[in-house]
Amino acid sequence: MGGIADPDEIAGAGGAMETVAVVIPTLNEERSIGKVIDGVPVSELLENGLRTVVYVIDGRSTDGTREIAANKGAQLILEERKGKGVAVQTAFKSINADYAIMVDGDDTYPIGVATEMVRLLRTHDVVIGSRLKGVIEPGAMSRLNIIGNTLLTLLARALFSINVTDVCTGLWGYRGEATRRLELEAQGFDIEADMYSECARKGLRVTEIPIRYRARADHAKLASLRDGLRIGAFLCRKWLTARANNLSADSQPDRAGTLDGRRAR
């Protein structure tokens, strides 16, 4: 994999080299976290003028996840609160880099595409790795999950009008300043829906790349029907809140004493 850069080394480099933070939220991923870290294309990114730091944001793992990550050279951020969404929010608040790549720790996503994602981030704010536009390996996702993910994506597009094909993907790339603009609130597996809706609300430029999605080594933590309904409800609530805020802003008098563009009587 090559050497993962030390954050202090980057901070002392005088800003001459752009930085990539690879963010991996984990909970009991000892069977896969080492493979994910090894898969980060550190040398390839370095050849493209980018220094890489891998951050593992771990939420109460009771197995060897933390020890493996530390031995692989990753920077550990310990999050005692529960939920993937909490871990992502902690990462975005704690990490300062030119680019951030967020990937699940179960080795189902091809983190090797990080270099291509950064290339696209030169002209976009956000890059999404789409499973549904790419290849889903046998056993990686059930037919029910494919249908559910497709329906959730159609709902998200109908509500927020960003044309992507996989709103629930666990592989996202951001320009550093974009992560600081997001006002995230999701605590759990609805974090991707939260990120998507925030991208729309903030007017961020979003694109996607097709990826190859692999089967995970152990059981999925996501409960298909229950969490799917929760994600759908979150999208609707986020849209209603955004709409209410917009209507409230539109009804405020302007400095000339007008209301909704018309002079108040």
Does 230 reside within a domain? yes
Q: Which domain holds residue 23?
A: 7-247
Does 259 reside within a domain? no
| CB 208, CB 164: distance < 8 Å | yes
Q: Is the pLDDT of residue 26 over 80?
A: yes
Does 253 reside within a domain? no
Helix (H, G, I), strand (E, B) or coil at 28: coil
| CB 45, CB 20: distance < 8 Å | yes
What whole-number distance in Å separates Cα of residue 6 and Cα of residue 202?
Answer: 32
Alpha helix segments (H runs only) across the chain: 7-11, 33-39, 42-47, 65-71, 84-94, 114-121, 143-160, 176-179, 191-201, 224-250
* pLDDT at site 220: 65
Domain count, the chain: 1
Q: For the domain that residue 227 is a member of, what is the CATH number?
A: 3.90.550.10
Does 255 reside within a domain? no
Does 150 reside within a domain? yes
> What tens digit of pLDDT does each residue of 57-68 get?
999 899 999 999
Of 85-99, 220-234, 241-255, the range with the lowest mean pLDDT is: 241-255
* pLDDT at site 6: 61
Does 196 reside within a domain? yes
Instruction: Give 223's pLDDT tier (boundaries 50, 70, 90).
Output: low
Does 61 reside within a domain? yes
Does 252 reside within a domain? no
Q: Give the pairing of strands 50-58 and 75-78.
A: parallel
Neighbour tally for 147: CB within 10 Å? 12
| CB 36, CB 102: distance < 8 Å | no
Residue 146: both structure tokens together: 């494919």
- Cα 130 to chain centroid distance, Å, stands at 12
Instruction: Give 258's pLDDT tier (boundaries 50, 70, 90).
Output: very low
| Strand order, beta sheet including 206-213 | 75-78, 50-58, 18-26, 99-103, 171-175, 126-136, 206-213
* pLDDT at site 262: 38
